[in-house]
């Protein structure tokens, strides 16, 4: 399918938060620095922290408000009209998610409190039932802490071992080392589809096939993939796949856990309470069928409705169009910033990465960069981005990350580059 250019101006108009002047008044800040390096009077927020969380279109906001104003009630229990309407919309959201990731059964889609909660659910259910003392859990050096810490905790609880697959200097997964690790017969392999720092797009289908041949169950963290590229769980062969709503234009407080039906059915429930039971006796209980088995208590009803709206919005734009658009932006970022004196870019070239551009600047701490960039109206991320092992691998404590999405354009990239140059000039003047 041919990708089509995005009408970024129209898309940006759908996001109320982006149609306001930035609190830092970028134009004024630039005038006080090196205004000649930045063309135009933006004065608007240039939001480049999308790998952390995305902004919300009015379409999503309206869907959630509509629920709260017109038909909100708890789901699956009431036999009155509000409850039936809420239940219908909640389960409609599940069907939309299942179709979005090409899940073979709707029942294999579980709503959780977030991506982190989804990984922890796998660790406490399938993990505790199947990982035993002495077993090996394999992950990678580029994992987000959410796809590391739950496995470390599980290993400590049951006496298992953990090992991380190395990352090359270019920011790619070391396939040779991965093969060596697989010879140790790991029980589980946890891997990110897209690195939240390097932007690396991992060959999940190939990695899954290799892991399966070694007898490992594969957990895919798709938090950075779902918003930006088509994800087909059947094509990937993933045993489990997780993602969050807030990174794909949806609300916080909701995540998705997909699992193969046989794995979910054979796993014990995690949280106990209302909704996840079929029957309760004086001395025990019988768990409900999927997906209720893993959705104890009142679920994220409004959030699920918001997530459905977000996925519909993304589908309307087209994932192929989004991927192509972000590739152009990251190519422009590399063109403008690769080779800049004192600037080091992390991760592979733009042909092997998503719309993420992480860097360090000699002599300036990442936190100072992010703070000063805000004065230019540019919102970027600074720190270890919940990937301390990865930063240790590259010998740094922190980096600055710019990450792009549908409402960013080439002008935003140029503004980023010019702001960095202005920031460097300011630091040079301070030292002289």
Query: For residue range 392-408, what is the model confidence (pLDDT) as tens digits?
Result: 999 999 999 999 999 99
Measured distance CA(39)–CA(50) in Å, rounded: 24
Give the CATH number for residue 372: 3.90.1150.10
Do 129 and 94 share a domain, yes or no? Answer: yes
Q: What is the DSSP letter of 268?
A: P
Do 18 and 95 share a domain, yes or no? Answer: no
Do 280 and 351 share a domain, yes or no? Answer: no
Tokens linked to 308: 């459905």
Query: For residue range 348-358, what is the model confidence (pLDDT) as tens digits?
Result: 999 999 999 99
Pairing verdict, β 356-361 and 277-281: unpaired
From 291, 315, 339, the end of a domain falls on 315
Structural domain span for residue 14:
8-44+318-431
Do 309 and 331 share a domain, yes or no? Answer: no
For residue 6, the model assigns a pLDDT of 97
Do 308 and 322 share a domain, yes or no? Answer: no
Contacts of 306 (CB under 8 A, 6+ apart): 56, 60, 61, 63, 64, 245, 250, 251, 254
Domain annotation covers residue 54: no
Pairing verdict, β 109-112 and 356-361: unpaired
Could you list the active site residues?
386
- pTM metric for this prediction: 0.94
Domain annotation covers residue 403: yes
Do 296 and 365 share a domain, yes or no? Answer: no
Do 121 and 240 share a domain, yes or no? Answer: yes
For residue 3, the model assigns a pLDDT of 85
Do 222 and 368 share a domain, yes or no? Answer: no
Tokens linked to 239: 């045993």
CB of 175 within 8 A of CB of 223?
A: no
Measured distance CA(221)–CA(366) in Å, rounded: 26
Measured distance CA(242)–CA(327) in Å, rounded: 24
Do 195 and 306 share a domain, yes or no? Answer: yes
For residue 431, the model assigns a pLDDT of 65
Do 125 and 174 share a domain, yes or no? Answer: yes
* Per-residue confidence in pLDDT tens, the chain, 432 aa: 678 899 999 999 999 999 876 544 434 443 344 333 433 344 668 999 999 999 999 999 999 999 999 999 999 988 999 999 999 999 999 999 999 999 999 999 999 999 999 999 999 999 999 999 999 999 999 999 999 999 999 999 999 999 999 999 999 999 999 999 999 999 999 999 999 999 999 999 999 999 999 999 999 999 999 999 999 999 999 999 999 999 999 999 999 999 999 999 999 999 999 999 999 999 999 999 999 999 999 999 999 999 999 999 999 999 999 999 999 999 999 999 999 999 999 999 999 999 999 999 999 999 999 999 999 999 999 999 999 999 999 999 999 999 999 999 999 999 999 999 999 888 876 765
Give the CATH number for residue 63: 3.40.640.10
Number of domains comprising the chain: 2
Domain annotation covers residue 359: yes
Domain annotation covers residue 310: yes
Measured distance CA(93)–CA(176) in Å, rounded: 41
Q: What is the DSSP letter of 107?
A: G
From 294, 315, 336, the end of a domain falls on 315
Backbone torsion region of residue 221, taken as left when φ is above 0, otherwise alpha when ψ lies between -120 and 50, otherwise beta:
beta
Domain annotation covers residue 52: no
For residue 101, the model assigns a pLDDT of 98
For residue 62, the model assigns a pLDDT of 98
Pairing verdict, β 381-383 and 46-47: unpaired
Measured distance CA(260)–CA(239) in Å, rounded: 5
Domain annotation covers residue 390: yes
Tokens linked to 111: 């709503």
Do 223 and 89 share a domain, yes or no? Answer: yes
Domain annotation covers residue 248: yes
Do 145 and 67 share a domain, yes or no? Answer: yes
From 298, 315, 332, the end of a domain falls on 315
């Amino acid at each position: 399918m041919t990708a089509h250019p995005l009408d970024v101006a129209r898309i940006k108009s759908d996001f109320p938060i982006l149609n306001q002047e930035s609190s830092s008044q970028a134009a004024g800040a630039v005038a006080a620095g090196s205004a000649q390096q930045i063309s135009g009077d933006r004065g608007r927020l240039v939001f480049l922290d999308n790998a952390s969380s995305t902004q919300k279109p009015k379409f999503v906001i309206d869907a959630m408000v509509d629920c709260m104003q017109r038909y909100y009630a708890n789901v699956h229990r009431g036999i009155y009209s509000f409850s039936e309407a809420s239940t219908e919309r909640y389960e409609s959201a599940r069907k939309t998610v299942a179709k979005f990731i090409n899940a073979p059964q709707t029942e294999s889609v579980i709503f959780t409190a977030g991506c982190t909660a989804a990984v922890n659910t796998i660790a406490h259910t399938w993990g505790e039932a199947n990982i035993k003392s002495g077993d090996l859990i394999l992950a990678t050096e580029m994992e987000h802490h959410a796809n590391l810490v739950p496995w470390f905790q599980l290993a400590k609880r049951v006496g298992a071992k953990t090992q991380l697959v190395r990352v090359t200097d270019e920011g790619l997964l070391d396939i040779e080392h991965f093969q060596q690790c697989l010879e140790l017969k790991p029980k589980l392999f946890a891997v990110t589809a897209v690195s939240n720092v390097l932007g690396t797009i991992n060959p999940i289908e190939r990695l899954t096939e290799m892991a399966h041949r070694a007898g490992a169950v594969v957990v895919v963290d798709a938090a950075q993939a779902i918003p930006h590229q088509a994800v087909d769980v059947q094509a990937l062969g993933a045993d489990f796949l997780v993602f969050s709503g807030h990174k794909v234009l949806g609300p916080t407080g909701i995540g998705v856990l997909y699992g193969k039906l046989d794995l979910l059915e054979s796993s014990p429930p995690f949280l106990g309470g209302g909704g996840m039971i079929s029957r309760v006796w004086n001395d025990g209980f019988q768990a409900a069928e999927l997906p209720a088995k893993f959705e104890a208590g009142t679920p994220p009803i409004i959030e699920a409705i918001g997530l459905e709206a977000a996925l519909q919005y993304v589908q309307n734009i087209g994932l192929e169009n989004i991927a192509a658009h972000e590739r152009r932006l990251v190519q422009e970022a590399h063109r403008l910033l690769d080779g800049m004196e004192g600037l080091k870019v992390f991760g592979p070239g733009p042909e092997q990465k998503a719309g993420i551009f992480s860097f360090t600047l000699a002599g300036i701490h990442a936190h100072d960069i992010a703070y000063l960039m805000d004065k230019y109206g540019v919102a970027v991320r600074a720190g270890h981005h919940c990937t301390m092992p990865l930063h240790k691998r590259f010998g740094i404590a922190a980096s600055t990350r710019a990450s792009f999405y549908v409402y960013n354009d080439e002008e935003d990239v140029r503004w980023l580059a010019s702001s960095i140059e202005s920031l460097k000039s300011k630091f040079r003047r301070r030292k002289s």
